[in-house]
């Protein structure tokens, strides 16, 4: 638990289970107008999980009366007590929706909604909170046809059709001055980023299995999977596929800049950072037809309509003969013009101020 000790007259309590770069950005945005008090709910072990609930309860009892606003970074176990106490004490509570809290993919065992206990806490959180802020409107409701073995309706409303809690879409924002092309690109090179290998579904969820199948069909191309700290997880890789360990965020612009294409073949995403950051580094995007990805790509790259190796092969063939110089510039402009830090800053602060004033 930390506090931004800026001299602000209003106080916001923020709750998260992982202090990711995304969460850090929101804390920095909020600290401009609020004194921000943080609570980290994260715990791997069951006994630590119960202890996290107890600590969160004490944190809320200590700070709820002086709080003007409660903010939960994603719904789940960590959002239940803040939403409940917000309702009991008449304090507005905002839940920022990131992805897994809106996803239901039982075929691969992914998403809050396919886990019985987590589903109950997620559902209660959305009913109790004052407002929802999805990164993209598709997280509220969207048709899904990329993988026909999974449910064809996705999003919160698909699981809670009668939900009355209002929502405001607030996309991620990026710093175009930080994310830019600073290296010479190598022709016919593809990169993707994937983490969280402790989860058994990750290879399939992030489309790594498709990359491993399609790569041998393009022997003159090079493919890289960034974020693999244990290469033993990928035995017998095709000769034109390499794994790279995870790196510091500050090193990513240089890495992205050296690749021509970025692959985002995920079965599900909220508003993926890596594809946006890579596009700012002038990587041509190739992404799956799910949630926010087609809108992010626009006319600056290629969308894979089905989770199928033959379909992906056809898309890569088109990409290899494209006007790459034009698409590289389009990719950068797509993010720089439409998804800025300023836009997220303004939308988030405006919503928070409105919630406080309305309350």
Which tens digit of pLDDT belongs to each residue from 139-150?
Answer: 999 999 999 999
> Does pLDDT of 169 surpass 60?
yes
Residue 73 has pLDDT above 70, yes or no: yes
Residue 4 has pLDDT above 70, yes or no: no
Q: Is residue 39 part of a domain?
A: yes
Domain harbouring 260, CATH code: 3.40.50.2000
Shared-domain flag, residues 163 and 255: no
If one counts the domains in the chain, the total is 2
Query: What is the model's pLDDT at position 196?
Result: 83
- For residues 167 and 18, membership in a common domain is answered with yes
Alpha helix ranges (H) inside the chain: 21-30, 46-63, 77-89, 116-128, 156-159, 202-205, 208-214, 252-257, 273-280, 293-297, 309-320, 324-338, 341-358
What mean pLDDT is predicted for residues 198-205? 88
Q: Which residues pair with 157 in a beta bridge?
A: none
Q: What is the pLDDT of residue 216?
A: 98
Based on the fold, state whether residues 198 and 111 are members of the same structural domain. no
296 plus 326 within the same structural domain: yes
Question: Are 238 and 350 found together in one domain?
Answer: no
pLDDT at 2 over 60: no
Q: What are φ and ψ of residue 286, in 5° steps?
A: -125, 110
In a domain, 184, yes or no: no
Are 36 and 164 within one domain?
yes
| Helices 273-280 + 324-338 axis angle, to 10 | 120
- Say what the pLDDT of residue 107 is: 95
Candidates 239, 260, 252; CA nearest to 186 is 260
* Pair 212, 307 in one domain: yes
Domain that holds residue 118: 11-172+341-358
Is residue 119 included in any domain, yes or no? yes
User: What pLDDT, on a 0 to 100 scale, did the predictor assign at position 47?
Assistant: 67
Q: Tell me the mean pLDDT in the region 28-46.
A: 88
Percent of the chain with pLDDT over 70: 96
Tell me whether strands 261-264 and 241-244 are parallel, antiparallel or unpaired. Answer: unpaired
Shared domain check, 214 and 234? yes
d(CA 176, CA 280): 6
The residue count of the chain comes to 359
pLDDT of residue 49: 80
Mean pLDDT of the chain: 94
What pLDDT is stored for residue 44 in this prediction? 65
pLDDT at position 5 over 70: no
Q: Residue 118: phi, psi to the nearest 5?
A: -65, -35
Q: Residue 288: in which H helix or E strand, if any?
A: strand 284-288
Note the pLDDT tens digit of each residue in 275-315: 999 999 999 999 999 999 999 999 999 999 999 999 999 99
Please report whether residue 179 resides in a domain. Answer: no
Residues forming a β-bridge with 254:
none
Do residue 139 and residue 246 come from a single domain? no
Residue 256 is assigned to a structural domain of this protein: yes
**Burial of residue 342, with CB atoms counted within 10 A of its CB: 0-12 exposed, 13-18 middle, 19 or more buried:** exposed
Within a domain: 177: no
- Is 141 contained in some domain? yes
Tell me how far the alpha carbon of residue 231 is from its chain's centroid.
25
Per-residue pLDDT band at 45 (split at 50, 70, 90): low
Residue 66 lies in a domain: yes
Can you say whether the dihedral through the CA atoms of 222, 312, 321, 192 is positive or negative? negative
- State residue 131's pLDDT score: 98
Name the band, by pLDDT with cuts 50, 70 and 90, for residue 6.
very low
pTM (two decimals): 0.93
State whether 261 and 155 are in the same domain. no
Residues 261 and 347 in one domain: no
Judged against a pLDDT cut of 80, whether residue 163 lies above it is answered with yes
Do 146 and 51 reside in the same domain of the chain? yes
């Amino acid at each position: 638990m930390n506090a931004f000790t800026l001299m602000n007259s209003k106080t916001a309590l923020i709750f998260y289970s992982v202090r990711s770069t995304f969460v850090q950005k929101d804390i920095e945005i909020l600290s401009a107008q609020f004194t921000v008090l943080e609570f980290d709910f994260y715990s791997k072990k069951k006994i630590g999980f119960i202890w996290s609930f107890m600590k969160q309860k004490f944190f809320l009892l200590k700070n709820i009366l002086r709080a003007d606003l409660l903010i939960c970074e994603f719904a789940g176990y960590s959002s239940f007590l803040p939403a409940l106490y917000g309702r009991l004490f008449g304090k507005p509570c905002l839940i920022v929706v990131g992805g897994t809290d809106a996803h239901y993919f039982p075929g691969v065992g992914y998403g809050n909604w396919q886990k019985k206990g987590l589903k109950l806490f997620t559902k209660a959180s959305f009913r109790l909170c004052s407002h929802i802020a999805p990164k993209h409107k598709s997280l509220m409701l969207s048709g899904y046809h990329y993988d026909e073995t999974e449910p064809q309706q996705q999003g919160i409303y698909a699981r809670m059709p009668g939900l009355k809690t209002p929502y405001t879409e607030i996309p991620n924002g990026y710093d175009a001055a930080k994310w830019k092309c600073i290296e010479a690109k190598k022709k016919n090179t593809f990169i993707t980023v994937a983490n969280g290998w402790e989860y058994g579904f990750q290879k399939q969820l992030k489309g790594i299995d498709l990359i491993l199948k399609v790569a041998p069909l393009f022997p003159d191309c090079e493919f890289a999977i960034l974020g693999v700290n244990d290469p033993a997880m990928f035995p017998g890789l095709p000769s034109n596929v390499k794994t790279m360990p995870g790196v510091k965020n500050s090193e990513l612009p240089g890495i992205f800049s050296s690749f021509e294409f970025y692959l985002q073949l995920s079965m599900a995403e909220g508003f993926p950072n890596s594809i946006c950051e890579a596009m700012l580094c002038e990587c041509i995007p190739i992404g799956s037809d799910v949630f926010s990805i087609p809108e992010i790509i626009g006319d600056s790259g290629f969308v894979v309509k089905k989770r199928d190796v033959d379909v992906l092969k056809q898309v890569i063939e088109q990409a290899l003969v494209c006007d790459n110089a034009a698409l590289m510039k389009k990719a950068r402009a797509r993010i720089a013009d439409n998804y800025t830090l300023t836009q997220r800053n303004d939308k988030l602060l405006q919503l928070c101020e409105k919630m406080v004033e309305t309350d």
